[in-house]
Amino acid sequence: MSPLTTLTPLTVKKPSPARNRLRGGARYAPTLATVGLFIAMFAVGSGMYPSFLSGQVFLNLFIDNTFLIVLAVGMTFVILTGGIDLSVGAVVALSMMVSATLLQQGWNAGAIIVLVLLIGGGLGLLMGLIIQYFDIQPFIVTLAGMFLARGLCYVISLDSIPVTEGFFTGMAQAQIPLPGDLFVSPGVLLALGIVAIAFFVLHHTRFGRTVYAIGGNEHSAMLMGLPVKSTKILVYALSGLCSAVAGILFSFYSLSGYSLAAQGMELDAIAAVVIGGTLLTGGTGYVLGSVVGVLVLGIVQTFIAYDGTLSSWWTKIVIGGLLLVFILLQRLFARKTR
Amino acid sequence: MVPVVEMTDIAIGFPGVKALDGVNFRLFPGEVHALMGENGAGKSTLIKALTGVYSIDSGTVTVLGEHKQFSTPAASQAAGISTVYQEVNLCPNLTVEENVLLGREPRRRGSIDWKGVRSRTREVLAELHLDQVDPGSLLSSHSIAVQQLIAIARSVEINAKVLILDEPTSSLDADEVNQLFRVIRDLRDRGVAILFVSHFLEQVYDISDRMTVLRNGKLVGEYMTRDLSRMGLISKMIGREMEALAELDQAPARTRARTDSGVTPFLETRGLGRKGSVSHVDLSVYPGEVVGLAGLLGAGRTEIARLIFGADKADEGSMAIKGASQRIRSPRTAIDLRIGFCSEDRKEEGLIGDLSVRDNLVLAMQASKGWARRIPRRVQDELVAEYIQALDVRPANPDALIRNLSGGNQQKVLLARWLVTHPELLILDEPTRGIDIGAKTQIQKLVSQLAADGMSILFISSELEEVLRVSDRIAVIKDRAMVADINNDDVSVEDVMTVIAGGAQ
């Protein structure tokens, strides 16, 4: 908690350069708090369970959550503009169902992946267009999108469809060795690649800066002549695309398609983004923070797995508590810097 | 000389309001052109037509001889027209440099060149003598005045040929205005055409070379500033003859409530205060009396009003209404005690822009009657018509949407909304800010009228002249405490200034 108290100036007079630097730094405070929390949890875990402190336990956090990382990336874009995307979990399930069914019918894996990306991106684009041109709240539009995608899953099949195709099973089993007897899955590299691209886009392109500007003040962004409409639409298309990628990654991970899969995953993604320090009102936050947010969620699960006596529902309870704490912290923090 | 911008026969209408009708307007390079008119004359509409926020119904716009049809702000900016609005339209969550260059950042191989951004911003800021502003600091860490100059820096950066300043000085102090004017003159000398809109006549005469006067959405004329006297300008804006003006200018007849012993004040506070806000407020307001709160901007005037109305909770001192001790914990309690509060921020706190004049008035009536008893339509219509007429709301159309009304007329509706609830104490916080002389005089007269009818009024204004004109007594606020209580007998602005400058005598 210390970064919060030391970084917020209490008296606001003429800003000195030093204070400005502090205020600039204060933007990172929520994200830094999350990083601190993650390190603390890892340290506590290492103290309680001797085998916790290992590189592979850390890497497994990535391996087990590749899909969530990718979802959180897309969600970060959306939330930065001040919007929300509730459809991502259902789109993940739809992507899995489409892949599993078509693989069973002997389609080529590459063609399926392209098709799934088109479906996810297209669905996102459609929702973006509706949000923009009919001026409807993102909450409602993406809620409708969620029901649509989930409904399509049931139409495809009510049963779990196993995936036995070579490329998918290959990806599921592949291990990329790292020095020190460690390994990651190919999916981790893909997810981290997407994170790197997202970071570049957000901080080094005009599109990315427009995303932040819209979250800061949409009306101003419009009056400044920024392409507000197209950016807002694109953000939902990106989130849809990320959901499709996450669906493919989840297929690699679970080697099946099931219409009830990824229930509530959209809420995990939103939780990760918020715990990672992105304000739900938009305009402030970092994609790297969202990745740390996912890792925090992952480490909570690891804890429960190590403990062995606790029911897995404790994961949800802990995540709920963390979310509440972080939102309260942000609120406090926003009040002090104002 | 060829005008940079020429607008011919412009017409724009909204449901229930004809905002502009057959207006011509031209703007020459290297001049400051003031757009004048009362509230509702169509100034904002004309600006929004020029900046692509509203589209025009008929008429033509040419920029440098080329026909233009602006459908978006981006299109207008691409044609070299840049606007700085009254409420700064930048992004508070981004840094100064990002705001200056947003959407036009220098790039290298598709990636924003942040070093280039920093150096370009430094250059532009230096041109405007803003060297002390750190390009990497957050926009929200700067004062409104600096933010406004940063918005101007943004238009300098795009080499704007036309710079529109819409009420740029309304929240600036004298020094800040001077700094702004230095920048404006600088830009004018470089050949930028500047369109300046302000309610401060002195500032308009100080800075402008030419002016265009609008009235009720129609063009009155275009004049050289040096050829038009202040009285001439005012009569053109109001559209009344000199005699009528002289009458308007006269101080409204003041009703002097005698604060005889034996009469209980409606409101009396003793040592009222709130930690971190204001302290030591000893205020009494008698029935039929106008008490003015005088003090500098930020001295704590609004804070006092909020304490009395229960919008903030007092944590020290006591308050009595009609002699009975009361603890006002919320606006609801205040309203039940028949206290009304016209807030300073009419957009945020007062009116509902998407409802009509009638709906806004009925809302207040209904709230005061209780939701269970419906007010018959006939009574509604009568009351609404009565208030529209009494306050001279223009257009006199009960179905016009509030957001399409001008500031002065919105203020009148806000006032009417409180009047329908028949308050015994009405707190008016800056009721005349940003509205034109005609409406201002009307509101001042109305205040005196209401007091004559027995209402207690707490009147807050930044304009000392106005406070002196309408008040029976003046409470002087300085540095978040009440320092003096003066009976308004031949008190001059200087006297009050002395008190503010010197503290309690």
- pLDDT tens across B6-65, in order? 999 999 988 777 888 889 999 999 999 999 887 678 888 899 889 888 888 888 999 888
CA-to-CA distance for B401 and B412, rounded, in angstroms? 14
Nearest by CB to A223, which of B73, B110, B142?
A: B73
For B273-301, what is the mean pLDDT? 83
Indicate the SS3 state at residue B38: coil
CA-to-CA distance for B34 and B199, rounded, in angstroms? 10
Question: Do B90 and B157 fall within a single domain?
Answer: yes
Mark yes or no for CB contact B102/A209 under 8 Å.
yes
Cβ contacts of residue B439 below 8 Å, gap of 6+?
A: B38, B39, B408, B409, B411, B412, B432
Distance from CA of B112 to the nearest CA of A (A): 5
* Residue A205 touches partner B, C-beta closer than 8 Å: yes
- CA dihedral in degrees (B97, B100, B102, B107; nearest 10)? -70
pLDDT of residue B443: 83
* Token pair in block for residue A30: 């929520």
The string of pLDDT tens digits covering residues B389-434 is 877 887 888 888 888 887 778 888 888 888 888 889 999 988 887 7
CATH 1.10.3470, applies to A49-337: yes
The string of pLDDT tens digits covering residues B136-177 is 998 988 887 888 889 989 988 888 899 999 888 876 777 788
Question: Do B320 and B264 fall within a single domain?
Answer: yes
- The single-letter DSSP state of residue B69 is -
- Predicted confidence pLDDT, tens digits, chain A (338 residues): 333 333 323 223 344 444 444 444 566 777 888 888 889 888 988 888 888 888 899 999 999 999 999 999 999 999 999 999 999 999 999 999 999 999 999 999 999 999 999 999 999 999 999 999 999 999 999 999 999 999 999 999 998 999 988 899 999 888 999 888 899 999 999 999 999 999 999 999 999 999 999 999 998 998 888 999 999 999 999 999 999 999 999 999 899 999 888 888 999 999 999 989 898 888 889 999 999 999 999 998 888 888 878 787 888 888 888 888 877 876 776 665 54
Closest chain A residue to the Cα of B71, Cα to Cα: A225
For B264-287, what is the mean pLDDT? 86
Closest chain A residue to the Cα of B117, Cα to Cα: A204
- CA dihedral in degrees (B330, B334, B335, B337; nearest 10)? 140
Q: Is A292 exposed, middle or buried (0-12, 13-18, 19+ CB in 10 A)?
A: buried
Closest chain B residue to the Cα of A284, Cα to Cα: B93
Residue B368 — pLDDT band, cuts 50, 70, 90?
low
Instruction: Choose, out of A199, A224, A281, the residue to mutate when testing the contact with B (most B CBs < 10 Å).
Output: A224
pLDDT of residue B371: 65
Residue B343 — pLDDT band, cuts 50, 70, 90?
confident
Question: Do B100 and B143 fall within a single domain?
Answer: yes
**Contact indicator for B191, B136 with CB cutoff of 8 Å:** no
pLDDT of residue A334: 61
Residue B243 predicted with pLDDT over 60: no
* Residue A215 touches partner B, C-beta closer than 8 Å: yes
Indicate the SS3 state at residue B159: coil
* Token pair in block for residue B453: 């009818």
Nearest by CB to B112, which of A205, A215, A221?
A: A205
- The single-letter DSSP state of residue B349 is I
pLDDT of residue A318: 85
**Residue where one domain finishes, among candidates B192, B226, B249:** B249
- The single-letter DSSP state of residue B463 is -
* Residue A209 touches partner B, C-beta closer than 8 Å: yes
Q: In chain B, what residues touch A220 (CB-CB under 8 Å)?
A: 89-91
pLDDT of residue A331: 72
CA-to-CA distance for A306 and B461, rounded, in angstroms? 67
Closest chain A residue to the Cα of B90, Cα to Cα: A220
Would you say residue B420 lies in a domain?
no
CA-to-CA distance for B500 and B477, rounded, in angstroms? 8
Question: Do B153 and B167 fall within a single domain?
Answer: yes
Instruction: Choose, out of A223, A281, A333, the residue to mutate when testing the contact with B (most B CBs < 10 Å).
Output: A223
Mark yes or no for CB contact A224/B89 under 8 Å.
yes
How is chain A split into domains, by residue range? 49-337
**Residue where one domain finishes, among candidates B193, B225, B249:** B249
Question: Do B56 and B178 fall within a single domain?
Answer: yes
Q: In chain A, what residues touch B51 (CB-CB under 8 Å)?
A: 223
Distance from CA of A221 to the nearest CA of B (A): 7
Domain that holds residue B269: 251-338+425-436+454-505
Mark yes or no for CB contact B103/A210 under 8 Å.
yes
Question: Do B272 and B183 fall within a single domain?
Answer: no
Q: Is B258 exposed, middle or buried (0-12, 13-18, 19+ CB in 10 A)?
A: exposed
Distance from CA of A142 to the nearest CA of B (A): 26
Question: Do B143 and B180 fall within a single domain?
Answer: yes
Q: In chain B, what residues touch A23 (CB-CB under 8 Å)?
A: 137-138, 141
Q: In chain B, what residues touch A205 (CB-CB under 8 Å)?
A: 110-112
**Contact indicator for B162, B4 with CB cutoff of 8 Å:** yes
Nearest by CB to B137, which of A23, A212, A222?
A: A23
Distance from CA of B393 to the nearest CA of A (A): 29
Q: Give how far Cα B83 sits from Cα of B138, B179, B208, Å.
A: 21, 18, 17
**Contact indicator for B133, B146 with CB cutoff of 8 Å:** yes
**b/e per residue, A144-183, with b = 16+ CB within 10 A?**
ebbebbbebbeebeeeebebebeebeebbeeeeeeeeeeb
Question: Do B174 and B319 fall within a single domain?
Answer: no
Would you say residue B357 lies in a domain?
no
* Residue A17 touches partner B, C-beta closer than 8 Å: yes
pLDDT of residue A16: 43
pLDDT of residue B39: 66
Cβ contacts of residue A271 below 8 Å, gap of 6+?
A: A293, A297, A319, A322, A323
Would you say residue B409 lies in a domain?
no
Would you say residue B388 lies in a domain?
no
Would you say residue B159 lies in a domain?
yes
Indicate the SS3 state at residue B426: strand
* Residue A18 touches partner B, C-beta closer than 8 Å: no
For B53-82, what is the mean pLDDT? 87
Contacts by residues B345-353 (CB-CB < 8 Å, ≥ 24 positions apart): B346/B407, B346/B410, B346/B411, B346/B414, B350/B410, B350/B414, B350/B417, B351/B402, B351/B410, B351/B413, B351/B414, B351/B417, B352/B402, B353/B401, B353/B402, B353/B403
Nearest by CB to A283, which of B77, B93, B103?
A: B93
Question: Do B75 and B168 fall within a single domain?
Answer: yes
Distance from CA of A15 to the nearest CA of B (A): 7
Question: Do B201 and B257 fall within a single domain?
Answer: no
Tokens 């036995």 locate to: A164
Would you say residue B395 lies in a domain?
no
Would you say residue B413 lies in a domain?
no
Helix (H) or strand (E) holding B223: strand B218-224
Q: Give how far Cα A338 sits from Cα of A12, A31, A255, B27, B340, Å.
A: 9, 19, 49, 40, 29
pLDDT of residue A61: 93
The 3-state secondary structure of chain A reads CHHHHHHCCCCCCCCCHHHHHHHHHHCCHHHHHHHHHHHHHHHHHHHHCHHHCCHHHHHHHHHCCHHHHHHHHHHHHHHHCCCCCCCHHHHHHHHHHHHHHHHHCCCCHHHHHHHHHHHHHHHHHHHHHHHHHCCCCHHHHHHHHHHHHHHHHHHHCCCCEECCCHHHHHHHHCCEEECCCEEECHHHHHHHHHHHHHHHHHHHCHHHHHHHHHHHCHHHHHHCCCCHHHHHHHHHHHHHHHHHHHHHHHHHHHCEECCCCCCCHHHHHHHHHHHCCCCCCCCCCCHHHHHHHHHHHHHHHHHHHHHCCCCCHHHHHHHHHHHHHHHHHHHHHHHHHC
CA-to-CA distance for A19 and A31, rounded, in angstroms? 20
Tokens 């939701």 locate to: B371
pLDDT of residue A294: 95
**Contact indicator for B239, B215 with CB cutoff of 8 Å:** yes
Nearest CA to B249 out of B451, B398, B3, B437 is that of B437
CA-to-CA distance for B498 and B490, rounded, in angstroms? 15
Q: In chain B, what residues touch A27 (CB-CB under 8 Å)?
A: 138
Chain B interface residues (partner A, CB cutoff 8 A): 51, 53, 72-74, 76-78, 83, 85, 89-95, 98, 102-103, 105, 107, 110-112, 114, 134, 136-138, 140-142, 154
Residues in chain B: 505
Q: In chain B, what residues touch A227 (CB-CB under 8 Å)?
A: 74, 103
Q: Give how far Cα B225 sits from Cα of B36, B203, B208, B229, B466, Å.
A: 11, 12, 7, 8, 26
The string of pLDDT tens digits covering residues B462-496 is 777 788 888 889 998 877 788 888 888 877 777 77
* Residue A222 touches partner B, C-beta closer than 8 Å: yes
Q: Minimum mean pLDDT among B40-54, B309-323, B367-381, B386-400: which range?
A: B367-381
The domain that holds B228 is classified in CATH as 3.40.50.300
Q: In chain A, what residues touch B276 (CB-CB under 8 Å)?
A: none
Mark yes or no for CB contact B138/A20 under 8 Å.
yes
- The single-letter DSSP state of residue B394 is S
Q: In chain A, what residues touch B78 (CB-CB under 8 Å)?
A: 225
Distance from CA of B142 to the nearest CA of A (A): 7
Mark yes or no for CB contact B91/A213 under 8 Å.
yes
Q: In chain B, what residues touch A24 (CB-CB under 8 Å)?
A: 95, 136-138
Question: Do B283 and B170 fall within a single domain?
Answer: no
CA-to-CA distance for B398 and B382, rounded, in angstroms? 11
Q: Report the share of chain B in percent with pLDDT over 90.
A: 18
Total tally of structural domains belonging to chain B = 2
Beta bridge partners of B477: B482
- The single-letter DSSP state of residue B113 is -
Residue B299 — pLDDT band, cuts 50, 70, 90?
confident
| CB-defined contacts A:B, below 8 A | 95
- The single-letter DSSP state of residue B138 is B
Mark yes or no for CB contact A24/B137 under 8 Å.
yes
Tokens 């409204």 locate to: B252
* Residue type (1 letter), A333: F
Indicate the SS3 state at residue B15: coil
Residue B314 predicted with pLDDT over 80: yes
* Residue A283 touches partner B, C-beta closer than 8 Å: yes
Asked whether the CA dihedral A219, A222, A224, A226 is positive or negative, the reply is positive
Nearest by CB to A23, which of B72, B102, B141?
A: B141
Residue B297 — pLDDT band, cuts 50, 70, 90?
low
Question: Do B175 and B122 fall within a single domain?
Answer: yes
**Contact indicator for B244, B264 with CB cutoff of 8 Å:** no
Residue B231 predicted with pLDDT over 50: yes
Mark yes or no for CB contact A206/B110 under 8 Å.
no
**Residue where one domain finishes, among candidates B198, B217, B249:** B249
Distance from CA of A319 to the nearest CA of B (A): 28
Beta bridge partners of B194: B32, B163
Nearest by CB to A220, which of B77, B90, B98?
A: B90
Largest CA distance in chain B: 83
Would you say residue B113 lies in a domain?
yes
Angle at B246 between CA B216 and CA B209, to 5 degrees: 55
Q: How far is CA B411 from the centre of its chain?
A: 10
Q: Is A231 exposed, middle or buried (0-12, 13-18, 19+ CB in 10 A)?
A: buried
